[in-house]
């Protein structure tokens, strides 16, 4: 791993991964390809460690000529594919963008990698790797007594978003099997932490509570999710890139199963504690139950024993410590919040954000 292309590196997980790689991989050069859609922001990439090893290119992963040119000219040996449409609500009301980006975009990247690495052998003699970052939502919904998702759990996607990610997972595995492309995959539970666009549950609740706005909670709020702090996820990705076995899939999770309502209440408690003079205290009084969304999965849980066993990974942050760090980051970075909210793409999101609700994926 010498020259790494990160797709979607201006987004939440991508930008945190770029910070992580520059901090922990001193010999790696990074190229970030991002279309800068509404959820991508260059503000996420400020204050990078050793930015001399980093380069940004604005572009579309569906642009085959652009992707091939970057792989060829930059002698890329590793692709970390994070670029995706990821918001479940948006996929329900506008699935076409998810089919294009998540399926067609992944196919385009795979075809480009096959052409450059397998056919042209531009980086012959060096180890190459295509790593695809996916989601636990491809597995569908669990009943209360069902065991956690493991790597061999059958796919049962429930939303257009989950279906598009499932399709892209199958494409990656097929290219590995058919063309000998060295691929790895990871399916991760809900991420949270710094730099997350406020359509997602945790930053939406935090920022609304700070302003005294309603905290919308789908249905009864008893949907169960597994949460992993984004820096723990980035460390897992780094280990997979370095030591993961080609052709393998690794689940990444946080070993917790709170309900969405419990998450919201905990965030309110942390804000009460952190902001004793706030006129919106107690912040839990802002909670409002709203009609549930169509096809809402009831429970996710991740079995990540494989990555622990093979790569010695486990989450370092508990849900308590991670939520505290998340609250502190948003309170300490009002400039980032203002910059994101001042962008035209954020105003566009507000205009079409169906009743202002958010669900993390």
The SS3 assignment for 244 reads coil
Q: Decide: 35 and 62 in contact? Cβ < 8 Å.
A: no
Q: Which helix (H) or strand (E) holds 266?
A: helix 260-274
Given 38, 54, 161, 192, the catalytic residue? 161
Query: Would you call 270 exposed, middle or buried from its count of C-beta atoms within 10 A (0-12, 13-18, 19+)?
Result: buried
- Cα distances from 112 to residues 35, 68, 151, 244, in angstroms, run 17, 5, 27, 22
Cα 332 to Cα 206: distance, rounded to the nearest angstrom: 13
* Residue reference for tokens 């001399």: 52
- Cα distances from 214 to residues 61, 204, 207, 294, in angstroms, run 37, 10, 10, 21
- Whether 161 is catalytic is yes
Cα 35 to Cα 40: distance, rounded to the nearest angstrom: 8
DSSP assignment of 278-333: -TT-SGGGGEEEEPPPTT---B--B--HHHHHHH-----S-HHHHHHHHHHHHHH-
* Residue reference for tokens 């994101």: 340
Given 20, 89, 137, 359, the catalytic residue? 137
- Whether 179 is catalytic is no
Given 43, 77, 89, 136, the catalytic residue? 136
Q: Catalogue the active-site residues.
A: 136-137, 161
């Amino acid at each position: 791993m010498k020259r790494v292309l990160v797709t979607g590196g201006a987004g939440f997980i991508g930008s945190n991964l770029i910070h992580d790689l520059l901090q922990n991989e001193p010999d790696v050069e990074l190229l970030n390809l991002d279309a800068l859609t509404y959820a991508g922001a260059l503000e996420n990439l400020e204050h990078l460690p050793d930015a001399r090893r980093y380069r940004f290119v604005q572009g579309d992963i569906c642009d085959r000529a652009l992707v091939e040119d970057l792989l060829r000219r930059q002698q890329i040996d590793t692709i970390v594919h994070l670029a995706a449409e990821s918001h479940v609500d948006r996929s329900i009301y506008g699935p076409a963008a998810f089919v294009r980006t998540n399926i067609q975009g992944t196919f385009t990247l795979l075809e480009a990698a096959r052409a450059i690495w397998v056919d042209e052998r531009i980086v012959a003699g060096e180890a190459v790797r295509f790593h695809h970052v996916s989601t636990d939502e491809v597995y569908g919904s669990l009943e209360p007594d069902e065991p956690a998702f493991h790597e061999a759990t059958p796919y049962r996607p429930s939303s257009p978003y989950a279906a598009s990610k499932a399709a892209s997972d199958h494409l990656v595995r097929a290219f590995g099997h058919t063309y000998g492309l060295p691929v790895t995959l990871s399916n991760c539970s809900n991420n949270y932490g710094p730099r997350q666009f406020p359509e997602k549950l945790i930053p939406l609740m935090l920022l609304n509570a700070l302003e005294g706005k309603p905290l919308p909670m789908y249905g009864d709020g008893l949907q169960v999710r597994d949460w992993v702090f984004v820096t723990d996820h980035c460390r897992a990705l780094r280990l997979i890139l370095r030591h993961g076995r080609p052709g393998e899939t690794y689940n990444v999770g946080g070993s917790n199963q709170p309900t969405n309502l419990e998450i919201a209440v905990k965030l309110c408690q942390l804000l009460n504690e952190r902001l004793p003079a706030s006129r919106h205290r107690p912040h839990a009084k802002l909670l409002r139950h709203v009609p549930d969304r169509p096809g809402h999965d009831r429970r996710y849980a991740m079995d990540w024993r494989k990555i622990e066993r093979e790569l010695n990974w486990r989450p370092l942050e508990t849900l308590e410590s991670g939520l505290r760090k998340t609250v502190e980051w948003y309170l300490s970075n009002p400039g980032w919040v203002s910059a994101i909210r001042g962008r035209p793409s954020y105003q566009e999101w507000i205009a079409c954000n169906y009743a202002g609700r958010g669900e993390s994926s």
